Structure 1
Amino acid sequence: MLQSALLLTIIAFILKPERSQTLVCVTPNELKTRIFDSVSRFQGNKIPFNPAMPGWEGSNVEFNVSKMETLQKNIFLTHDSQHILTMKLSGKQIKKIDEGAFIALDCLHELLLDHNNMSKLSRNTFQGLYNLQKLDLSYNRLEYLPDLAFTSLQKLKILNLSRNRIRSVQSLAFENLILLEDLNLEFNQLETVDVDVFRSLRSLKSLMLAWNGLTNIEPEKWSGLETLENLDLAGNGLNHFDPNYNFSFSALKTLNLSGNFLTKLNVEALNKHLPSLGFIDLNDNPWVCTDLESIVHDLNVSKVKFASRNSSTSTVSGIACSEVPIFMSKTNIEDVISSTTKKSEDWSVKNYVEGIVEKKIKESNVGVISSIRYLQSLVIFLFVLIALV
């Protein structure tokens, strides 16, 4: 008897439709925001959030409180809460979100959680947000993204994870985000990217990975990016970008490779495997002017536009370059010193340069270009000094 009852309960649960499938979410002609002085006032609300109901005063919600450290289960459950469309929780010192905190927000399509203190997410953190389209988690303290972290957000289109401390992303972290169009992971601490992590993002158009630590990635092996149009890899310390492969993102239109350590680029292969590419940013790389002239010529021939900036140094069509190689690592410094100053055995100079190189490399990515310029000037100065001895 007990087994039969249990079986019927399970069957009923399976066949029970989701609230989001039967609920009609109404978008008002006029956007209005309601601001609550406390969570308790929100929970005691009696005014409808449904614009089709009498007495409606707005479907967007904000809180005029400075601290909401923990979001407990059902914290946003109140009268007509299922019709709230947007909720702003920016800068509330939020550290923890219990599972089920958002379970009463069926129609919510925009959730702002930026500028808080969250350090981790779980599989059920965003449970119940079946209609969410935009999620902003920027400026938090997230260190990693677990598998299925956003699994219930199947209608999500925009996900902002920039300016966190993310070091790793599990291969199934973005599973089920089949409608996601914009993914921002800028200014994190990523060093590697799993080749399958973007596999389920079949609608993704923009992928922002700038200012991480992706020095040795293989984007040619990334899967599932057939619709990608914009890829930003600026400021990652990349020393190569090999376009001699069939990228999954062959529909790419814009590519940002600025602020890296690139010295070569095969434009012919780029045209072959990224035939839709129309714009590229190659600024702030240690280009040798003669090599850059060839690259710019090939870009002009292929009608791929490129970014140019004003610079006080030598340029080719507005892209800064050097008449001699710019040296970026201790190994390169050793090679140059040994080959250029053969008559000198002044290892104290070599050690001094190496020390500065190590110090500069450890500095944040934001200052990497100025560090390169500084090292270039320093090395040339030392060469001249040694030659005069």
Structure 2
Amino acid sequence: MSSPDVVRAALVTLAIICDLAAALCPEQCRCRPSTSDCSHSRLDAVPISLDPRVHILRLQGNRIGSIEDTLGFYQSLRELNLADNSLTSLGEGQLVMQEELKQLRLEDNLLSVLLPDSFKGLRRLLRLDLSGNRLTVLDRPVFRWMLKLKTLNLGGNRIRTVARNAFENLGELVTLDLSHNRLTHLPSESFRHLARLRTLALNGNRLQAVPFHAFFELRSLHSLSLAENSIDSVHAEAFAYLYELRALNVSYNRLETFPAASLALPQLEKLDASGNHFSSLKPRHLDNLHRLRVFRLCQSQLLSSVTGHIFSNNLLLEEVHLCMNPQLRWFPRTAVDSLPHLKVLNLGGNSLGTLENITSLLQRIEAFNVSGNPLVCNCSARWLWDLPAHLPNTSVLFPIRCVDSGRLLTELSEADLGCGWWLTAAIAAAAVAFVAAFCAALTRPMLMPAGSGLGHDSPMRGRHFTLLTGDYAGTRDAGCGWEHGRRCDRDFGQHYAAQRIGDYAARAPSLVV
């Protein structure tokens, strides 16, 4: 048999073997060309009788405890899912034949340690998920083989320590999740290898402070979450050089002072500062965030004051969420009425008893929530009652329940608001005030120098003056005529003091003018 015939026969034999392998799909699995799905099939080991040409192998939700000497059969894998199994170790070199693998899912296993060569051979891997395991330290560069890795998820472990070289060779990494671990200090030195990182999640750890230049090497960072820690201080230069940062979450920490000095972030668009211990929100707090679009400050138990013009330098704001702050009893209209791009205003769940009229603003937004506040539905709430008539889309409104009647505001009539008697009372009060002011003007006392009739240009001006009643002017005019001069004023003043007021001048109050 000639050489070409031998080669041809070998290829035919290989094809037959492959077809037979494809036909040997375990009954628990579901096999299609390039995909084998053996998930949730109560398997104790990786099946080795599947099509060796398979690209996608799904083995999640089984009871597999080891991958030793099993994956070498599948050298064409692109995706491997071993999530939610019972793996305690990956061994060393068990993935060395998976050079084409792009995605590896190992979340929700029992892995407590990663060996130096656990991931050897995975040079084309793009995504690795190790979340929900029992890892406690990253003390060696176990990921150094993954030169093209884009996403690394280490969330939900028990990691306390991250070595300086833990992320060595991960220069292409874009997303790193270290959330819900046990970190007490930021592993800033570990980040020096991650020049292209754009998303960093550190929420749910035990961090207590954000120190000087904590993220100095992460100049491409777009999103940073520090939520749900125990942070009580943020250095003024903590976020220095994060010129590309778009989203920052510092919610549910222990900050007592708004970190205004740290927020010189020219590109920041989203800021969540909820659940801290701020007592007030002032204009200077957000002055440096000129590109801010979404601001959230909710569930802050001590927040009681929001000053007017708080967003005067944030004219690009589209969403404002100031909600569920139990001490917040007043919200000034001037805080938001100058925001031309506002689309969402969420004031729900505060302690607002009344709200200023912002009808003109609400006519152009997409969602307005003031529900869950103890709003008193009297005439001051008439604009809210009348609001649906002025809005092009009433779906922007959340239901408003009145604290005094327990009824929805939309169920009340105008008479229920009591606006009629209120208007009548207001007109009556204004009329009484006008009459009182008019009468007071007619009987207003005059000021003259005590014991003399010196005029207003006298050098005595500025000394003590005696309060005289109105009959002085009338008696003087009768005696001197309308065109009286300074001498007549002086003489008549002396005469009046002697003849008419007796010792009153000594007892009357004196004023300095």
TM-score normalized by structure 1?
A: 0.65
Aligned to 1:67: 63
Where 1:77 maps in the other structure, the secondary structure is helix
Q: 2:36 aligns with which of 4, 14, 34?
A: 34
| 2:77 paired with 1:77 | no
| 2:293 paired with 1:288 | no
Aligned to 1:240: 233
**Alignment partners' CA distance in 2, 1:206 and 1:42:** 37
Give the conservation status (yes or no) of the 8 Å contact 1:187–1:210.
Answer: yes
Q: 2:167 aligns with which of 156, 168, 174?
A: 174
Deviation at 1:206, TM superposition (A): 0.2
Give the conservation status (yes or no) of the 8 Å contact 2:57–2:79.
Answer: yes
Query: Letter of the aligned partner of 1:77 in structure 2?
Result: G
| 2:270 paired with 1:275 | no
Query: Letter of the aligned partner of 1:69 in structure 2?
Result: G
Aligned to 2:357: none
Deviation at 1:171, TM superposition (A): 0.9
Deviation at 1:265, TM superposition (A): 3.1
Aligned to 1:256: 249
Give the conservation status (yes or no) of the 8 Å contact 2:219–2:241.
Answer: yes
Where 1:87 maps in the other structure, the secondary structure is strand
Distance change >3 Å, CA 255–CA 39, structure 1 → 2: same
User: 1:49-106, CA deviations, whole angstroms, 9 ceiling, x for partnerless residues?
Assistant: 3xxxxxxxxx11023772222232x42011xx22211001011111011101111111
Which is further off, 214-223 or 305-314?
305-314
Deviation at 1:48, TM superposition (A): 2.1
Distance change >3 Å, CA 31–CA 263, structure 1 → 2: farther
Moved over 6 A (4+): 299-302, 310-313
User: 1:146-179, CA deviations, whole angstroms, 9 ceiling, x for partnerless residues?
Assistant: 2212110111101111111111111110110011
**Alignment partners' CA distance in 2, 1:42 and 1:188:** 34
Query: Letter of the aligned partner of 1:148 in structure 2?
Result: P
Q: 1:205 aligns with which of 198, 208, 217?
A: 198
Aligned to 2:322: 318
**Alignment partners' CA distance in 2, 1:70 and 1:163:** 22
Q: 1:150 aligns with which of 120, 143, 160?
A: 143
User: 1:200-234, CA deviations, whole angstroms, 9 ceiling, x for partnerless residues?
Assistant: 11110000000100113426243421111100000
Distance change >3 Å, CA 109–CA 41, structure 1 → 2: closer
Distance change >3 Å, CA 71–CA 285, structure 1 → 2: same
Count the aligned residue pairs.
278
Distance change >3 Å, CA 311–CA 197, structure 1 → 2: closer
Where 1:43 maps in the other structure, the secondary structure is coil
Distance change >3 Å, CA 31–CA 108, structure 1 → 2: farther
Task: Name the larger-Rg structure.
Answer: 2
Deviation at 1:129, TM superposition (A): 0.8
Aligned to 2:85: 92
Query: Letter of the aligned partner of 2:96 in structure 1?
Result: I
Aligned to 2:95: 102
Where 1:82 maps in the other structure, the secondary structure is coil
Gaps of 5+ in 1: 1-29, 50-58, 324-389
Aligned to 2:287: 298
Query: Letter of the aligned partner of 2:246 in structure 1?
Result: K
**Alignment partners' CA distance in 2, 1:181 and 1:113:** 19
1:214-233 matches, within 5 Å, as: 214-218=207-211, 220-233=213-226
Query: Letter of the aligned partner of 1:71 in structure 2?
Result: I
Gaps of 5+ in 2: 1-31, 307-320, 329-513
Where 2:188 maps in the other structure, the secondary structure is coil
Give the conservation status (yes or no) of the 8 Å contact 1:144–1:168.
Answer: yes
RMSD (Å), alpha carbons: 2.8
Give the conservation status (yes or no) of the 8 Å contact 2:202–2:226.
Answer: yes
Distance change >3 Å, CA 310–CA 170, structure 1 → 2: closer
Which of structures 1 and 2 has the larger relative contact order (alpha carbons within 8 angstroms, sep 6+)? 1
Distance change >3 Å, CA 40–CA 137, structure 1 → 2: closer
**Alignment partners' CA distance in 1, 2:143 and 2:167:** 6
**Alignment partners' CA distance in 2, 1:244 and 1:202:** 19
Aligned to 1:13: none
**Alignment partners' CA distance in 2, 1:251 and 1:265:** 22
TM-score normalized by structure 2?
A: 0.50
